[in-house]
Amino acid sequence: MKSAPFEHHEPETVDEAVSLLESLDDPTILAGGQSLVPMLRFRLANPDVVVDINGIDSLDYLSEEDGHLRVGALARHADVADSDVIDDRYGSFADAAPLVADPQIRNRGTVVGSVAQADPKGDWGSVLLAHEGEVIARGPDGDRAIPADEFFLLPYDTTLGEDELITEVRVPVPGSNEGSAYHKLKRKTGDYAMAGVGVRLTFDDDGTIESAGIGMTAVDITNARATDAEEHLEGERPSPDLFAAAGELAAEQSNPESDEHGGADYKARMVDVLTQRALGDAAERAGTVTVKRRVTQ
C-alpha cells in the first residue's frame, strides 16, 4: 500500500530543518523511518509535509564529550552495537542495541527516532530513564534539555514541541563504580519486548548503592521508571534479598495489559524476574561482589 502524497523536504543543516519545522504546517520528521514508513503506508499517519533529516551529516555521531555519551539523531541502532565508544561501562547500551528488531532494521532505525516515536515497547526509552539521560531539542529559541522522565507523556506522545527537532539524546558518562544492563523478554528474535527492564547502579567506594535507575519497557502506557524499587535500593548493599525486593517493587509499580502474548500478571512477574537479572548484571559490571541470583533461568 502506498502512502498518501506528501511534500518531501531534505534539509542539510539543523538550522534549516528547524526553520522548516517552524514555517511548514504540521510537518512530520523522517529519520530512520522503520516505524514511520509503515505508518505512512497504512495511512496511520497522513502528513502533508515530511522533513527528511537523513541529509544532515552533522547529526551522525556517537561520542563521549563534555561528560556525556552523546547519541546524535542519525546514529543507527547498528552504530551503537558496533561502536568502540560503547565499552564495558555502557552495559545497558551494549545489551539493548542487538536486541532491537533485526539486522536490516538496526541498519536504518535510529536511537533518537525510537525515543521520539515514544512507543511504550521501545527499548531505548528505558535505557535513557535508567541512566537519567536527557533529550536535547533544538527549536526556534535554541537548545532545550528535557530530562528523560519528563519526556514521555502517552503512547506516541511526548513533551517535544511541534517546531522542535531532537538533535541528540545523552547520558552522563558512567564513573568507575557504575554498572548497567538491559534485559528483554520477547517471543522470538526481532520482536518487540513483552517486557523489558533497563538498570543502572552507582556504588559508593564502600560498596553501598549510591543511586539506582530502573526503566521498564512495554509494561505501562509509556516507558516508565520503577521509582519505588530505585528508592529501596539506594543506601543499601547489594544482596539477593535486596534485589528480590526491588524486583517485586518494580512489578508492583508496572502496569501491564493482558494481550495475546501474555496476561498482565505474567508480565508483572516477568518485570520482577528481569529486574533481578538486570540488577545482578549491573552490580557485577560495576565491579562489586557478584550477587548470586535468586531467580535462575
Q: What's the rounded Cα separation, in Å, for the pair 3 and 131?
A: 37
Q: Which three cell numbers stand for residue 48?
A: 502533508
Provide the 8-state DSSP code for 171: E
Q: Is residue 84 part of the contact set for other proteins (CB under 8 A)?
A: no
186 binds other proteins (CB under 8 A): no
Q: Which of 17, 39, 38, 41 is nearest to 29 (CA)?
A: 17
Residue with cell 533461568: 297
Q: Which is nearer to other proteins, 19 or 107 (CB)?
A: 107
Closest CB to other proteins among residues 105, 244 = 105
Pick from 101, 116, 160, 197 the residue near other proteins by CB under 8 A.
Answer: 101
SS3 label, residue 164: coil
Nearest-approach distance from CB 37 to other proteins, in angstroms: 5
Q: What are the C-alpha distances in Å from 82 to residues 76, 85, 98, 124, 250?
A: 10, 9, 9, 16, 31
In sequence order, the 6+-apart residues with CB closer than 8 A to the CB of 122 are 114, 115, 217, 223
What minimum distance in Å lies between the beta carbon of 108 and other proteins? 5
**In the structure grid, which three cell numbers stand for residue 25, read together?**
504546517
Question: Which 31-70 positions form the footprint of other proteins (CB under 8 A)?
Answer: 33-34, 37-38, 40-41, 48, 50, 52, 54
The answer to the question of residue 244 lying near other proteins (CB under 8 A) is: no
Q: How many CB atoms lie within 10 A of CB 163?
A: 18
Query: 259 near 187, Cβ under 8 Å?
Result: no
108 contributes a contact to other proteins by CB under 8 A: yes
User: 35 or 126, CB closer to other proteins?
Assistant: 35
Nearer to other proteins, 6 or 156 (CB): 6
Residue 228 contacts other proteins per CB under 8 A: no
Give the angle 121-110-90 at the CA atoms, nearest 5°.
80
Minimum distance, C-beta of residue 75 to other proteins, in the bound complex (Å): 15
Note whether 2 binds other proteins by CB under 8 A.
Answer: yes
When binding is defined by CB under 8 A, the residue of 8, 13, 140, 255 that contacts other proteins is 8
Q: Using CB under 8 A as the criterion, which residues of the chain lie in contact with other proteins when the complex forms?
A: 1-8, 10, 33-34, 37-38, 40-41, 48, 50, 52, 54, 78, 98, 101-105, 107-108, 189-190
